[in-house]
Amino acid sequence: MAKPTSATLSATGSAAASAVPVARPVLRALVMTLAFIAVVVLALAQAWALWQLAPTSTANGALEPALLLDAVFGALQALMVWLLLPLRYRKPLGFTLLFVWLVCSFVPFFGGMILLVSCLWAAWFPARHRDEDMQEVPTPQFVTYLMSRVSHGGGARLQARLINTQVNASDRLSALVAIQSMPTRTTGTLLRELLADPVEDVRLIAYGTLDQAENEVMQKIFQTAQTLDYAQSNGERHAINRQLAELYFELVYQNLVQGAVYKHTLEQADRYARAALETDASDAALWMIRGRLALANGDADEAQHHMARAQDLGFPRERLVPWMAEVAFLQGNYPRVSELLASLTNAASLPMLNPVVRYWST
């Protein structure tokens, strides 16, 4: 008798392996068919048994036999129906079986038939889930140490080095010294955050930078306010009041004041602007300043009035449009925002404003 060769063994093994996947669907179909038949038989048997026992139990005053039989048939149907359910409906096991058992027990025959038809419908017409490939991902975080690989945006890289407390203290100090040449308007918020930095030298330099910038403006305010008492004409008083309004507004613009001082600075800037407009109401720039002060106070209606007056007096429309769009946004007039920003040309809008213009213009 010839011994089986390795080729024969491998062919036999591959044939057996290929037969396993084919046998599984056949076995599953057989189980589903038997479960289907079992549900129908059990539902009919439940209906027939209750039809026979219910009148007798009611006449004798004892419903326990009928209820017990109904519960048993319901449990058997629940088990068979569970086998027919799609996989995603079988979990959680306990609650699923409990729900199916309650339906089959409290609605004899019809409950099992409705569930059976539902299972067949789900098998023949499966639902299409468009979100099956979607997954929840965490919110991306800005990684500061990767800024060193960027060849552009030197100011952003310097600020990233300052925020990252894991960077060497000497490197952070050098970055802090480097940003001192940048406008306080862009670095004021960062410098205030550095006042609570764990490195003492960083705190001192940040405080010194903010204090120096504030003192420079306050010194100019003090010197200008002294000249106001010696003004001889309306033209001189107008020029001095205008300069004081601009200086107080500079404190707000450079983020040098906060809290109660911020509110006081806004009031002072608006007071001097109103005093200047009393002598010359045709100053469009002052109406623009008053509009921006009203925006800082959150009064969109007053800001709209002042900016409209500035536009009537000849203030450049290209410089007014972004602020008028902000007023419309605060008022909830979003079509007006889109209309205003769409009227700006690429040459008229600032580079940092271009993304906003593109967003509202499309």
pLDDT per position as a tens digit, 108-148: 777 777 887 887 777 777 766 555 566 777 877 766 555 55
pLDDT for the residue numbered 58: 58
Distance CA 238, CA 215 (A): 24
Single out the residue of 298, 293, 297, 296 nearest to residue 310, CA to CA.
Answer: 293
Instruction: Compute the mean pLDDT over every residue in the chain, rounded to the nearest whole number.
Output: 77
SS3 199: coil
Distance CA 165, CA 321 (A): 40
Distance CA 50, CA 63 (A): 11
pTM attached to this predicted model = 0.52
pLDDT for the residue numbered 302: 92
Spatial contact of 281 and 294, defined as CB atoms under 8 Å apart: no
Q: Could you identify the residue written with the tokens 């109904």? A: 70
pLDDT for the residue numbered 288: 92
Which residues of the chain register pLDDT less than 50? 1-4, 6-12, 14-20, 150-153, 347
Taking CB atoms within 8 Å and a gap of at least 24, the contacts of 342-347 are 344/318
pLDDT for the residue numbered 351: 66
Phi, psi of 137 (to 5 degrees): -120, 150
pLDDT for the residue numbered 271: 92
Sequence-distant (≥ 6) Cβ neighbours of residue 25 within 8 angstroms: none
Q: Encode burial over 222-256: b for 16+ CB neighbours within 10 A, e otherwise.
A: eebeeeeeeeeeeeebbbbbbbbbbbbbbbbbbbb
- Say how many Å lie between the first and final Cα of the chain, rounded: 84
Question: Is residue 276 classed exposed, middle or buried when 0-12, 13-18 and 19+ CB atoms within 10 A define those classes?
Answer: buried
Distance CA 173, CA 201 (A): 8
Q: How far is CA 86 from the centre of its chain?
A: 35
Strand ranges (DSSP E) for the chain?
Answer: none
